[in-house]
Amino acid sequence: MTEITRRTALGAAIAVPAAAALARGAFAADPVEIDLFFPVPGKLADKMKELIDRFNGQQSAVKATAVYTGSYDDTSLKTRAATKAGKPPGAVIMSANFVREYVINGDVDPFDPIIAKHGKSPSEFFDQFWPALKPNAMIDGKIYGIPYQNSTPLMYYNVAAFTDVGLDPEKPPTTWREWLDAAQKLTKPSGDRWASTFPALTIIAAGGPAPSSCRTAGSTTTTITAAKFTTTPRRHWAHSPCSTRSSTKRRSCRPVSATPMLARAPFLPAGSA
């Protein structure tokens, strides 16, 4: 589950103390202390602390504490419990899927006043993000979440396999149609090579972007198209059979090296960051 929600990580803010801090501005004698809950462990947690230290060093109105709060679900649990108990965090990094729930419960304040202070309208502010990120973050015309640490689905492909069947490795597929065409070319009828592997839910969760090598902007593919797409391959025999199962029951399929194409979100090995 973590991996799926990871795809859509957003910042949702419980912005009461933060807004208060802004109102007090630089005239405040003591810094306002806020907690920032975050759900990423390991090296990413170290990076988070680094960022917060930098933030604390740059200004004196707000003193933020980065708090590791477990998985995405645990983070939501802790946020809700702390809010109910009267100790809401200043901001939370959590799955974008939770934002609406917090808005409905009235537990979050919109970022709009803070953004307005910086002289921007909400839509101007959102111009800096990919359009696909907007629906999760803006609710009823107000910004409740700021896209942060979104996992971007990438496509990996095997250059040797592409060359082998006459596909141009410099021009990987950029639409689902092209992906399917390439997959069919790459598949060997004998069953020696399946053309592509992807955990079905990854693409549905990703929603917007079509697979393109490290480029995700400019896509118009919708979640529904992606969902439909994942059901077609079985008829075309283009995909490794086990890879089309629900990713919650994902089994180890073929090693990546034997798979000519693979679409999935980036996966950061703990040792590599």
Complex with another protein: residue 55 or 237, whichever CB lies closer: 55
Complex with another protein: residue 19 or 52, whichever CB lies closer: 52
Nearest approach in angstroms of CB 178 to another protein is 29
Pairing of the two strands 196-197 and 145-147:
unpaired
Count the neighbouring beta carbons within 10 Å of the beta carbon of residue 270. Answer: 9
Nearest approach in angstroms of CB 135 to another protein is 24
Nearest approach in angstroms of CB 228 to another protein is 27
Nearest approach in angstroms of CB 118 to another protein is 28
CA distance 182 to 49: 43
Complex with another protein: residue 2 or 163, whichever CB lies closer: 2
CB 28 within 8 A of CB 61: yes
Nearest approach in angstroms of CB 199 to another protein is 12
Among 192, 108, 202, residue whose Cα is nearest residue 156: 202
Can you read off the two tokens belonging to residue 79? 């946020």
Nearest approach in angstroms of CB 256 to another protein is 12
Complex with another protein: residue 84 or 117, whichever CB lies closer: 84
* Residues of the shown chain interacting with another protein in the complex, contacts defined by CB under 8 A: 2-3, 6, 35, 39-45, 65, 67-71, 74, 77-78, 80-82, 84-87, 267-271, 273
Nearest approach in angstroms of CB 72 to another protein is 9
Nearest approach in angstroms of CB 253 to another protein is 16
Complex with another protein: residue 87 or 118, whichever CB lies closer: 87
Among 238, 241, 270, 224, residue whose Cα is nearest residue 46: 270
